[in-house]
Structure 1
Amino acid sequence: MRKAARIAMVLFLGGGLWLAFKPGAVGNPRLSFLPYYVNEFVDHMDFWFNLLAFTALAFTAWLAFGPQHGTFEKAINRALWVLGIITVMNIMVEVVQSSIPGRRVDQADVWAGMLGCVLGIFGGCLVQRMMNRRAQDGPPARVLFVDQTGRLGGAELMLLDIAAARAADSEVVLFQDGEFRTALEERGVKTRVLPLGEEAAVVDKQAGMLHALRAMPALCGLILRLAHAARGFDVVYANTAKALIIGGPAAWLARRALVFHLHDIVSAGHFSAMNRRALIFCSNYFASAVIANSEATQEAFIASGGRAELCSVVPNGFHITDEVPATAETTRVRESFGIPAGAWTVLMAGRLTPWKGQKVLLEALKAVPQAHVVLLGDALFTAEDHAYAAALRAQAAEPSLAGRVHFAGFRTDTRTFFELADVVVHASIHPEPFGRVIVEGMLAGRAVIATKAGGAAEIIDHEQTGLHVAPDDANDLAQALLRLQKDPALALELAQNACRTARATYGLDAVQAKIEAVISKSAFPDIKATPAPAAAAA
């Protein structure tokens, strides 16, 4: 449609300029191929013909360049641009006409052009609205999900559920292969890997300008390949910051709406200055909508320059189930790590990386006698992560901790580990965007201790559904652990309150419905979104 409208606009514009600049003196009619009396009629009805011509020109210009997606404010802004450009061109033509024999400046033509522009833009909006309504009456929007990694992190676990719910009409593109692709395909999700290339793959959230320049050729090639793939879908859904940087331009080239799911706090602690600017620019310029996973994430996005009207908060969703692992399985896992039966056990789950705070937990454990800690997770991405994991193992070998710290590595049977724990700890030293582990602990019916910062502070209600501690404060964490160790009744009360709250707030069906509403609104911006049925979820 947009291509046809642009061709029509060029034809209208060319014909209009030819008529405007062709001399029209008596005896030399502009429409020389028509009878003289027809030319007289055209001259007599000049205002109305100009009105009709500019209506057609503005109508095709709007269909060619008007926003297919976006806010009402964006549509008004584009309409003013179309009106302004055509009006300025009209005035310039009238001025030039004064030097042509038989022509003069006619203010009525200017007013006819302005009124025609308004009518044409209004008509274009109506046509777009009708087209969107017809599209919505058909199948749900087709979505091309984009993620940078093949590893299973918190953002990827969320995407796994979203993509599985619409596996019939959508696809996932990954920039790296790994267990995430396997998990998607096991859930029936069509997946393809577009390799990022070595130079681009090493550009992380803290990368500077030099690394970005080296990666530019690979990034440009990937953008073009992704744009080609996006033409078969209605919406591009970028699930990570790197997916946004590549998926934003690709969606723009493919003329598709872009939804960005923001799982990170946009701050100096998480992103380099260059990457923050790139993320905000791509969000503001390319995205139809930004989904933030917490209020803290949204506030940081807006504070960094992100457009508030794009952003809405949708927390991560979780499968709600009453099934629990068999006692025999929990006992087997406990025995495999050498944890004594009945030992008070603390679980911390997450990637082994400095900002997650495993080091703080091990320091606090020194003050908690007879307690054992299970660290569920592994070093995933950077050399810094692997060096940190080695430092943790050295710390765990200290005499005061020896035999009480157990490294479980990356596991898929995570629920079993929550069952064997008495307390779940979240100890991130920087504000975390959400805190998936916190909700998993709450749903498992375990008391939770979490740092009071970022999205984690929103999940826990201190003294009601868990305990808050100061970030990077081993003494504060030790006191909270001792309190729960010495007061099992308090731990049980917090765990029961937390489980009820998590079930009411973070159910997957409700969360998916909110995300589907954002996707539908981005694909069909002029009509009320209709979420896809939850029954499609695997």
Structure 2
Amino acid sequence: MNKRRLNVLYIAHEGHMGGATRSLATLAKLIQERGHNVTVALPFKNSEIRNELKKNDVETIVQFYTWCQYPENEGEFVKRIYQLGYWLNIFFEKKLYRKIRKRQFDIVHTNSSVVDIGIDLSHQLKAKHVWHFREFGEEDLGTKYVRGKEKSMNMINQTVDKVIFISEAMEKHYADWIDAEKRQVIYNGIGNEYLYEKEGREDKEKVVFLISGALQRGKGQACAIKAVSILKSQGYDRFKMVIAGRNIANYENILREMVKEEEVEEFIEFRGFVEDMRTLRRECDVELVCSLKEAFGRVSVEAMMSSNPVIATKSGANPELIQNEENGFLFEVENPKELAECMAKFLENPQLIVQMGKTAFERAKKTYTAEKNAVEIENLYYQILERKQ
């Protein structure tokens, strides 16, 4: 295999540093450090992702473009806006192509299933197209394809060279749409800066649970609040729960109202969006992942890297990451009673936090590093290009 220097164009789908975009920033940095020429196309100039890439001297090209999916539950007007934006992408794609047409890109790598401009760009640039599917879509984001799922998936399957799925659960979900030879599972990689091995547990007065991620229904914060209410009714009082995440569509107001109704204000603390999650995790003991369906579970891996055991739903990729009673516990989706039972196990026996935390740390360090992820993706690039010759 001829491992020459590659020219890679990444296509981002958002401006803020959500989980998928943090993964992109790390991947672009590491692929560049491995000797390749990296450029990242961004839809917004003033954005968190652009600032992060600049810190690492990664080249960016800014050209507005829109999603090929729309949010299902935000009304007909919003749907029409997304539909209009999608068809205007024909114009936006041409502008982006004019900016990069003289470049000899080998790979166009789309970072999310919600943007599809990589289809035409890769064809025009005569480059191979790798597409990262990091979302289930309807099940986790609550989005639908503008052109309809069947037509969109057929187009993807006919044009893409490889689809990277971030979990076996995701690959299985899309197996009916994407040919087997075009599917590849590569787990997300998390940077070593998240690694923090706790030697033991300080003699804390309270066990601190953390649930982090965007504040929206699909992330399951409401289930966690109900579990706290159950624990209170059972007489547990030596704990608190921290809720951290970006407020989506004012969902935080709904959660705060629920906290009042359940009369658990003394047990729950809202932190809002937290820039420095590593420091917050060192303050916490156990993390909750209550999502309806998690495509991978970056939050789970970051928790494990911080030596925190995880209580997660038995859905999506969670059972691939969390081994029940080894590095955490699993519970049924939207079952606050079962979640409360799992939380109570740590309250009854805090030493489990140390034991499971060590297991979680070792597994994450071995399996989910950013370096491992970058090497696997680099090898995939070479395999695709070798088939071309």
TM-score range, shorter chain: 0.7 to 0.9
Residues in 2 aligned to 1:453 and 1:353: alpha-carbon distance in whole angstroms: 17
Given that 2:192 and 2:370 are in contact with CA atoms closer than 8 Å, whether structure 1 keeps it comes out as yes
1:160 and 2:22 equivalent? Answer: no
Percent identity (aligned): 24
Higher helix share: 1
Pick the structure with greater CA Rg: 1
1:497 paired with 2:359, answer yes
CA-CA distance at 1:523 after TM superposition: 3.3
1:347 paired residue number: 210
**For 1:202 and 1:408, how far apart are their aligned partners in 2?**
33
Distance in 2 of aligned mates of 1:267 and 1:392: 22
Trace 1:365-380 onto structure 2 (pairs within 5 A).
Answer: 365-368=228-231, 369-370=236-237, 371-379=239-247
Q: Which amino acid aligns with 2:136?
A: I
Runs (5+) with no aligned partner, structure 1:
1-132, 332-340, 380-384, 528-538
Q: CA deviation at 1:343?
A: 2.3
Change (3 A) 1:279 1:512: farther
Distance 1:322 1:386 in 2: 29
Name the CA shift for 1:195/1:322 in 2 (closer, same or farther; >3 Å).
closer
C-alpha change, 1:149 and 1:345, in structure 2 (3 Å) is same
Q: 2:121 aligns with which of 250, 257, 263?
A: 250
Q: Which residue of 2 aligns with 1:316?
A: 188
Q: Counterparts in 2 of 1:66-465, with a 5 A limit?
A: 136=2, 139-167=4-32, 169-176=37-44, 177-196=46-65, 200=66, 204-206=70-72, 210-211=80-81, 213-231=83-101, 232=103, 233-243=105-115, 245-266=116-137, 270-272=142-144, 274-303=147-176, 305-320=177-192, 324=196, 342-368=205-231, 369-370=236-237, 371-379=239-247, 385-398=248-261, 400-429=263-292, 431-465=293-327
Would the alpha carbon gap of residues 229 and 144 (structure 1) be closer, same or farther in structure 2, given more than 3 Å must change? farther
Of the three residues 513, 517, 521, the one matched with 2:375 is 513
Cα 1:296–1:312 change in 2 (3 A) is same
Deviation at 1:446, TM superposition (A): 1.2
Matched letter for residue 342 of structure 1: E
- From the superposition, tell whether residues 427 and 182 of structure 1 become closer, same or farther in structure 2 (CA, over 3 Å): same
* SS of equivalent residue, structure 1 residue 512: helix
CA contact (8 A) 1:356 1:428 kept: yes
CA 1:275–1:409 in structure 2 vs 1: closer, same or farther (change >3 Å)?
farther
Cα 1:524/1:217, change in 2 over 3 Å = same
Taking the aligned partners of 1:322 and 1:511, their CA distance within structure 2 comes to: 15
Specify every segment of 5 or more residues in structure 2 that has no aligned partner in the other structure, as ranges. none
Q: Secondary structure at the match of 2:114?
A: helix
Deviation at residue 433 of structure 1 after TM alignment: 0.6
For residues 236-257 of structure 1, give each alpha carbon's deviation from its aligned partner in whole angstroms, at most 9, with x where no partner exists: 11001233x1111221222221
SS, match of residue 355 in structure 1: helix
- 1:268 is displaced (CA, Å) by 5.5
SS of 2:10 mapped into structure 1: strand
For the residue of structure 2 that corresponds to 1:433, the secondary structure is: coil
RMSD: 2.7
Find the aligned partners of 2:312 and 2:358 in 1 and give their Cα distance: 16
Deviation (angstroms), 1:441? 1.1
> Which amino acid in the other structure matches residue 443 of structure 1?
M
**Pairs aligned (count):** 370
Which residue of 318, 329, 340 corresponds with 1:478? 340
Preserved contact between residue 442 and residue 502 of structure 1 (Cα < 8 Å):
yes
Q: What is the TM-score of this pair, normalised by structure 2?
A: 0.87
One-letter code aligned to 1:247? G
Question: Within 2, Cα distance between the matches of 1:498 and 1:227?
Answer: 45
Counterpart CA distance in 2 for 1:186 and 1:410 is 21
Q: Which amino acid counterpart does residue 214 of structure 1 have in structure 2?
A: L
Per the TM alignment, residue 211 of structure 1 is displaced from its structure 2 partner at its CA by: 4.9
For residues 409-442 of structure 1, the C-alpha deviation after alignment (integer angstroms, 9 at most, x for no partner) is: 222211111111111110012x211011111111
